[in-house]
């Protein structure tokens, strides 16, 4: 194990979780392009203490994301139900979705076919049908089909928009002192300020107690990765001081702070849509980890398909929709006594 970076402040102290209130909430944070290899490298350096706890005390899986495109992953996560029929139009639409994951294409060239394909309830609509309230912070735009950003669904399917939130938040002096490389250049600074603002939203929603399920995507991590991974990976070694490593450390700090805003019976999920193989190519391995009371410590066998994540998220609320099951959380079933917890007191 390497020594942590010298000369920089240690991670901020965080309090333990609040007492249980008999209601399970699930807060899922998706680090866009968060990579297992980078995480394990920084853990070996002793620089991701919350990830250490997440993997030691929680359940984890190395997921397979194929094709390893954000657009395709978001489609699988938000619209998990298989189409009612898989005819030629459905295959063409799926091919267009996979093309949308390429920067050179940017959007589904046959998106208009969605109007003639069977309707499928999405993740937020399914979880928000009953007494729960869901919040979509997946930053859907352009080529990313992930439902309506900043939309609340529920209870009983009611739809409304989340109050306006800041798009950026300057790093606080103590944050910048710990992560100076996040001011490496103008773009890096802007991406870091975006992550800061988004995690602020997650903490506010956790503290307010009005949302049962939050799904938030840190898109800026993908932009930071493609900008800085070549420098980290190219020489085969790195001193850990660059912007990308700093972003991982900052996210680790923010996950710890978010966890401290949750109750003992809430669950925190951290996952990714894919990893990074080179600055121009994604890796099919994706992160998945969940932490909370009742979650067993361990790892899923093999490399479950990412398409099984929505069913796991639904099962966390005691729901059992007919969505793909891939072995992501085989211990979590509808009949598990530890799962019988109300959505509201």
What residues have CB less than 8 Å from 52, skipping those under 6 apart? 43
Q: Mean of the pLDDT values across residues 80-102?
A: 56
Residue 100 has pLDDT above 60, yes or no: no
pTM of the predicted model as reported, rounded to 2 decimal places = 0.86
What is the predicted pLDDT for the residue at 88? 55
pLDDT digits (tens, 9 = 90+) for 144-162: 455 567 899 999 999 999 8
Q: pLDDT band for position 13 (50/70/90)?
A: confident
What is the predicted pLDDT for the residue at 233? 74
What is the maximum span of the chain, computed from C-alpha positions, in angstroms? 60
Q: Mean of the pLDDT values across residues 254-282?
A: 95
Among residues 153, 308, 169, the alpha carbon closest in space to that of 250 is found at 169
Could you give all domains of the chain from N- to C-terminal order, each with its CATH number? 26-78+121-329 (3.40.720.10), 82-119 (no CATH)
- Give the residue, 88 or 27, on which the prediction is more confident: 27
Q: pLDDT band for position 230 (50/70/90)?
A: confident
Tell me the C-alpha distance between 287 and 266, whole Å. 20
How large a percentage of the chain has pLDDT more than 90? 65
Crossing angle of the two packed helices 36-44 and 49-57, in degrees rounded to 10:
110
- Write down the H helix ranges in the chain: 36-44, 49-57, 70-78, 88-100, 123-127, 173-178, 186-208, 219-233, 243-261, 309-315
- Give the residue, 281 or 54, on which the prediction is more confident: 54
Among residues 14, 4, 87, 82, the alpha carbon closest in space to that of 48 is found at 4
80 is written with which tokens? 């998990």
pLDDT digits (tens, 9 = 90+) for 172-194: 999 999 999 999 999 999 999 99
DSSP per position, 209-270: ---SEEEEEEHHHHHHHHHHHHHHHTTS---S-SHHHHHHHHHHHHHHHHHHHSBTT-EEEE
Among residues 24, 163, 161, 153, the alpha carbon closest in space to that of 78 is found at 153
Please state the length of the chain. Answer: 345
Range in 78-82, 124-128, 155-159, 281-285 the model is least confident about? 78-82
- Give the DSSP H or E segment for 135: strand 134-137
Determine phi and psi for 262, rounding to 5 degrees: -90, 165
């Amino acid at each position: 194990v390497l020594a942590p970076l010298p000369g920089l402040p240690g991670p901020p102290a965080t309090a333990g979780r609040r007492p249980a209130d008999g209601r399970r909430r699930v807060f899922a944070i998706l680090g866009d392009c968060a990579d297992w290899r980078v995480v394990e490298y920084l853990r070996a350096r002793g620089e991701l203490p919350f990830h250490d706890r997440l993997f030691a005390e929680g359940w984890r899986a190395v997921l397979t994301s194929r094709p390893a495109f954000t657009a395709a992953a978001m489609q699988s996560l938000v619209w998990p139900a298989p189409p009612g029929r898989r005819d030629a139009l459905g295959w063409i639409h799926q091919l267009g979705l996979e093309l949308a994951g390429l920067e050179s294409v940017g959007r589904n060239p046959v998106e208009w076919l969605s109007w003639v394909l069977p309707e499928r309830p999405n993740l937020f609509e399914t979880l928000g049908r009953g007494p729960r309230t869901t919040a979509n912070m997946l930053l859907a735009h352009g080529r990313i089909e992930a439902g309506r950003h900043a939309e609340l669904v529920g209870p009983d399917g009611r739809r409304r928009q989340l109050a306006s939130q800041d798009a950026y938040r300057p790093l606080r002096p103590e944050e910048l002192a710990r992560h100076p490389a996040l001011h490496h250049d103008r773009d890096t600074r802007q991406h870091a300020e975006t992550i800061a603002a988004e995690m602020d939203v997650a903490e506010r929603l956790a503290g307010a107690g009005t949302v049962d399920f939050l799904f938030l995507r840190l898109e800026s991590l993908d932009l930071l990765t493609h900008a800085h991974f070549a420098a980290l990976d190219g020489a085969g070694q790195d001193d850990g001081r660059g912007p990308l490593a700093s972003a991982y450390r900052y996210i680790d700090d923010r996950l710890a702070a978010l966890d401290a805003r949750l109750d003992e019976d809430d669950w925190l999920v951290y996952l990714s849509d894919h990893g990074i193989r080179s600055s121009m190519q994604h890796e099919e391995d994706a992160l998945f980890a969940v932490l909370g009371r009742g979650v067993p410590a361990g790892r899923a066998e093999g490399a479950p398909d990412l398409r099984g994540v929505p069913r796991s998220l639904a099962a966390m609320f005691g729901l059992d929709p007919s969505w793909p099951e891939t072995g992501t959380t085989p211990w979590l079933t509808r009949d598990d006594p530890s799962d019988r917890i109300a959505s509201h007191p």
